[in-house]
Structure 1
Amino acid sequence: MLATLQDILDTVKAENLTYQQKLMTLGNIAERLFDPRDLLGYSDEEWQYLQNQMICDLNEGYAVYRPRYILPDYSVYVKNGCRFLDLPVPKTLDEVLDGLLIIYSHVPSITTFPVYIGRLDSLLEPFICDEAQDYIKIKRFLNHIDKTVPDSFCHANIGPYETRAGRLILQAVIELENTTPNMTIRYDKNKTSREFAELAAKACLLVSKPSFANDAYYRADLGEEYGVASCYNALPECGGAYTLTRLRLGTIARACSSVTEMVEQLLPKVAKLALSTMDKRHQFIVEQSNFFKTSFLEQEGFIKRTNFTGMFAIVGLADATNHLLRQEGLDETFGQSARGEEIATAIMQKLKSVNDSHIGVYAERTDNHYLLHAQVGASIDAEDKLNTPAHRVKVGQEPTLLAHLKQSAPYHQYFPSGTGDLFVFDQTYVDHLDAVVDIIDGAFALNYRYITTYLKNTDLIRVTGYLVKKSEVERFRQGEAVLRDTTWFGAGTDDCAQVFDRQLRDQGNVNAG
C-alpha cells in the first residue's frame, strides 16, 4: 500500500506506540511513499492485483534498502573477530557474549532488529568452563536480548547434538519465560539424545519454545548450512531472503466459481504477477540500494549476496478450499473432507509448477528459483480476516490429533523455506515428556518439517510462528504502549484467526495416535 503524509502524522501522534516503535513505523512509511510503478517498474496489472489484495507484499515498502531476512554466519566472529566493530577474536565466554550482543545491534531486517542470532549452542560450547557460573552469564545474555530486541521474530537455533551450552540455554529459557528470542531445535532422533529432546519438549510446553525442526528434511532441501529465522523461516545461513510476497488464496478463490477457474486460470495468472514483482524488488535491492556494497557483514564474510533468495508465500488455503467446496454444493470443510484435500492439493501442485518454471532474479543459492513458504498471517487488510494462516485448518474445524497430523503432513513437502503446525496440550503433559517426543517423532516420520506446542493455560503462547504474552496483548488492546512490536501482530492475528482459542489436545487424542 502506498503511504501518505497523514500516515506520518498519525504515527507521530499515536498513544499506543513507544518511541522506538514510532521510529520503525516512520521508516516503513517512508519506503511506501514511492509508487512502485515509477520506482520499480511495476506494470499496471501487477499493481491492480496488489490493490485488490490477491497479492500482498506485507507492506515491505518500495524504496527497499536492505533484505527482509538476514542470517549471518556468526562463527565468522568466533574465528576472526570483526574488523569493522574493532572486536578481537573472543577467548572467553564473557567476550563472545559481549561481542555477539554488539554485532546483533548492527544486523538489520524488515523489523530493524536481527531475525537470526545464530546456532547459539554451537557458538558458545567451546567457551563453557564452569556450568554454574556460565549459566548465570547465558541467562543474563538471553534476558538482555529480550529487553533490547523487543521483537519475537528474533530467532535462535540449537541442536541437533546435545551440548553443555544447549542444556544451559534451555534451562535459562524455561526460567526467564521471555518472548524473545524465538527458538528452534534442529532435531534428528539419530543425532539428538533422548534426554536433550525431552528437555526441549519441556521448554516448548512451558514457554512455547523451542519448536522442533526436522533437521534431516531441511538439510536435504537447503544443505547443511541453513538456519531457522523469524517465525519458522528456513533459509541459507550466511545469506537469507530479499523479500517475502504472499498470495491470499482465499481472496483469489472467492473470485472464482469453480476449481478449474481457480487452478487453471486465475491462480497461475496472479502467481506469475507476484513473482514478477519479486524480481523487480530483488533487482532494486542488489543494483540500486547498495546494501551489499556498503555492509561490513558482506565485506567480512558474515553474509554473501549469492546466498540470498526470495520467499513466495501463501495464506488462506483452508479458506480457498472451503469456498470451492461450497461452489460444488458440499457442506464440508478443509481438514475433514476428502474432496477438500483433492482441491487443496490441486492448488498447491499448480502453484509449485508455476514457481518451478519461473527463473528468479539473484537467486543462485536456490538454483535460480524462489522458495515456497507457508506464511503465518497478518492483519494488514480486511482480507486477512478471510485468510487463515498458511495451510492450517481453521480454528474450530480441527480434526483429532492423529487425523490432523496425517491431514497436514502432505502439505509440508511444498514449503522448503518453512511451514509448521501447532498443537495445544494441557498441564499433564509436563509429566509425560516421552509422549510429547513420541508425537514429534511420529510427525517427522510422516514428513513433517516443523512442529511446536504449548500449554493452554500459560501466559506466554505461540501465536503462529512467533510468541506473545497474552497479558501484554490485553494491555495493548486497552490502548497502552507495550515493549514488543510483535504484540501488535499477535493481537491482530488473534482478531483474524482466533489463534488464542486453538483446540486443546487431550489425553484421549494422544492415545489414539
Structure 2
Amino acid sequence: MAELQFRVRGTVADAGLTYRQRLHRLAGLAEEAVDGPAVGEACREALEKGVICDLAEGHAPYRPRYVLPDYGVLLRQGSAFLELEPARDLDEALAFLLIAYTAVPSITTYPVYLGDLDKLLAPYVDGVGDEELYKRLRLFWISLDRMLPDAFVHTNIGPEDTRVGRTILRLERELKQVVPNLTLKVDPASTPDDLVLDGVRTVFECAKPHFANHPMMVGDLGADYAVVSCYNSLKVGGGSHTLVRLNLAEVARQCGGTTETFLTETLPHYVELTAQLIEARVRYLVEVAGFYEHDWLVDEGLISLDRFSAMFGIYGLAEAVEGLLDHKAYGRDAEANELSYRITETVAALVAARPLPYCEGNGGRAFLHAQSGIDSDVGVTAGTRIPVGREPALFEHLSAVAPHHRLFAAGVSDVLAFDDTVRRNPRAVVDIIRGVFSNGMRDFTFNLDSNDFIRITGYLVRKSDLAKNARHESTVLGAGSIRNSHVDRRSVKRVISHESDPRAGR
C-alpha cells in the first residue's frame, strides 16, 4: 500500500503529464490495487520472469482492449444512448461521429477505430462541392487531433478511389498531424496506381498511411475488417478482448537444450501458459465485469460478442533465433531465416489448436499477432522484425520477413526507412508495394528521415514534440521507445526504379 501511495503522489505531481494523462495513470494505479484474474503458479512465474507480458492491461479488465464499432449502423439508425437522430447530411454525420467517439472505450481510453471514413461519409457528400468538402473535413480532421490526442486512434480508406479518400490524403499532407493514424487498403483489382501514388507522396510528408494487402485481409477476416491502433487487423462490429504477448527471446533462454527441444517442448509449454492468461482475462471481462451485458454499443447493435476474439502476440523472434543458432543473423543468414519460419509456424499451429472461450470472432481461437513492442522493451526486437540498425538491403529484407505475414491475421508489420532520394521516383515505391503484396506481405510501412515524424512501431510521434510536454500521450511512449529500442536508427534504404532492378517489384 505504501508503494501504491508513493506512485499516486508521483503521478499527481508529475509536471510532464497533462490532466488527461494523469487521470489515465491514476485509473491504472487503482486497477493495480486489486488482484488480477486467477492463473496457475507456472503462469504467474512466467509473468514475473518476463517470459509472458500482459502489456500492463490492468488487473481488472473492464473493457475490451480494442473495440471496432460499426459506425455505419450508428449513422443510419441514430442512437438512443446519445440521444441523436439518424444523420441526414454531411454536417450531421461529422458531428454525430465526433460525439460517438467520446463514448467508445479501449485500452488507451480513446477510440482506436474511427471507421472507414471514406465509406462512412460517401452517402453524405453528394451535392457537396470539392472545396466545400475539403473545408468541412479540414475542421473535422483538426478536431480529431485536438479532441483525441493519441496516435493509436486509427482510420482506414480504400481500396476504392473516392473523393473523401483523396481529400483525407490532401489534408494529411497539409496538416501533418499525429492523429489519426491511417491505413490505405490496396486491392490489385480495384485500387488504381494513382491512388497508391497519392498515398506514397503523402508518406513523404507525414509518414502516413500504412498500406494493407486488402485481398489477404479479406481472406482471413472477411470483407468487414479494419486496421486499428498501430496496425492491428480485426473485425468491424467486434474487436479483441485482450492482447497478451510471448517473449520468444526469453523462451529460448529457458530452453537449456537443442533447437528441437525448444520447438517440441519449451515453446509449447509457454504457448499454453500464455493461453491460460488470455483465457483468465477474457473470462473476467465477460463473466465478472459483464461488459457485453450492459454497454451501449452492444445494446444498439454496434458491436456483438460473437465478432470478438483475443490476440496472442509474439515478439523477440530475432533474439530467439540468434540465441538458438549461436548468433547467426536473422535477416542475413539463410539458416537463421529458416529457423524463424519454423518457430512462427509452430506457434501458429499451437495457437490454432488451443480453444478459448468467447472467441467466436475467430472460431473459438485467438488471432495470432506480431506484437510491435512497447517503450520499456530493452534488447528485444518487436514482432518478427529484423533488429533496428541491422537490416539488410531492401530486397533481402523483404524476402526475409514476407514469409511470416500469412500467419498473422491480426497484424504484422515491418517498418522501412527510405533514403530521401525516393522523392524523385515515387512510382518505384508503388511498384514495390504491388510486388510485395503479390508475394504475400500483409502490410507495408515506410518513412523518410527527412520529415518531422518517427514511426515508432505502428504509430507516429513528431520529432518536434519530443523536447516538450506532450499533448499526445503516445509521444511519451514514443520517447521511451526511442531511448530503449533506438527506433530512430533504422537502416536507410535507397530505392531504385523497377526498370533498374527487376527484383524491386517482385
TM-score by length of 1: 0.94
In structure 2, C-alpha distance between the alignment counterparts of 1:47 and 1:234, rounded to whole Å: 29
C-alpha RMSD of the superposition: 1.5
Q: Are 2:348 and 1:352 equivalent residues in the alignment?
A: yes
Q: Shift of residue 420 of structure 1?
A: 1.3
Q: Deviations over 1:453-486 (max 9, x none)?
A: 11111112311100111121233xxxxx311111
User: Per the alignment, in what secondary structure is the counterpart of residue 94 of structure 2?
Assistant: helix
The residue type paired with residue 308 of structure 1 is: F
In structure 2, C-alpha distance between the alignment counterparts of 1:450 and 1:507, rounded to whole Å: 18
Aligned to 1:423: 416
- Structural mapping, 1:43-62, within 5 Å: 43-62=40-59
Q: Shift of residue 3 of structure 1?
A: 8.0
Q: Deviations over 1:25-84 (max 9, x none)?
A: 111122222222xxx221121111000000000000121110000000100122111121
The sequence identity of aligned pairs, in percent, is 37
Q: Structure 1, unaligned stretches of length 5 or more? A: 476-480
Q: Structure 2, unaligned stretches of length 5 or more? A: none
User: Per the alignment, in what secondary structure is the counterpart of residue 325 of structure 2?
Assistant: helix
- Structural mapping, 1:11-410, within 5 Å: 11-36=11-36, 40-128=37-125, 129-257=128-256, 258-326=258-326, 331-380=327-376, 384-410=377-403
In structure 2, C-alpha distance between the alignment counterparts of 1:281 and 1:507, rounded to whole Å: 45
Q: Deviations over 1:257-278 (max 9, x none)?
A: 4322322222211110110111
Moved more, 461-470 or 155-164: 461-470
Moved more, 492-501 or 427-436: 427-436
Moved more, 61-70 or 75-84: 75-84
User: Per the alignment, in what secondary structure is the counterpart of residue 202 of structure 1?
Assistant: helix
Q: Shift of residue 15 of structure 1?
A: 2.0
In structure 2, C-alpha distance between the alignment counterparts of 1:498 and 1:410, rounded to whole Å: 25
Q: Deviations over 1:122-153 (max 9, x none)?
A: 11122221110110110111111111111110
Moved more, 289-298 or 219-228: 289-298
Task: Determine if contact 2:428/2:497 at 8 Å carries over to the other structure.
Answer: no
Q: Shift of residue 423 of structure 1?
A: 1.5
Task: Determine if contact 2:241/2:309 at 8 Å carries over to the other structure.
Answer: yes
Aligned residues: 497
Q: Shift of residue 507 of structure 1?
A: 3.5
Task: Determine if contact 1:3/1:29 at 8 Å carries over to the other structure.
Answer: no
The residue type paired with residue 114 of structure 1 is: P
Q: Shift of residue 509 of structure 1?
A: 9.0
Q: Deviations over 1:189-244 (max 9, x none)?
A: 21112211111111122211111000000100010111111000000100100000
User: Per the alignment, in what secondary structure is the counterpart of residue 272 of structure 1?
Assistant: helix
Task: Determine if contact 1:250/1:317 at 8 Å carries over to the other structure.
Answer: yes
Task: Determine if contact 2:87/2:93 at 8 Å carries over to the other structure.
Answer: yes
Task: Determine if contact 1:118/1:156 at 8 Å carries over to the other structure.
Answer: yes
TM-score by length of 2: 0.95
User: Per the alignment, in what secondary structure is the counterpart of residue 461 of structure 1?
Assistant: strand
Task: Determine if contact 2:373/2:383 at 8 Å carries over to the other structure.
Answer: yes
In structure 2, C-alpha distance between the alignment counterparts of 1:167 and 1:431, rounded to whole Å: 21
Task: Determine if contact 1:238/1:302 at 8 Å carries over to the other structure.
Answer: yes
Q: Shift of residue 508 of structure 1?
A: 4.9
In structure 2, C-alpha distance between the alignment counterparts of 1:35 and 1:44, rounded to whole Å: 14
The residue type paired with residue 412 of structure 1 is: H
The residue type paired with residue 460 of structure 2 is: L
Q: Are 2:496 and 1:503 equivalent residues in the alignment?
A: no
One of 468, 474, 488 as aligned partner of 1:486: 474
Distance 1:238 1:3, change over 3 A: farther
Distance 1:94 1:463, change over 3 A: same
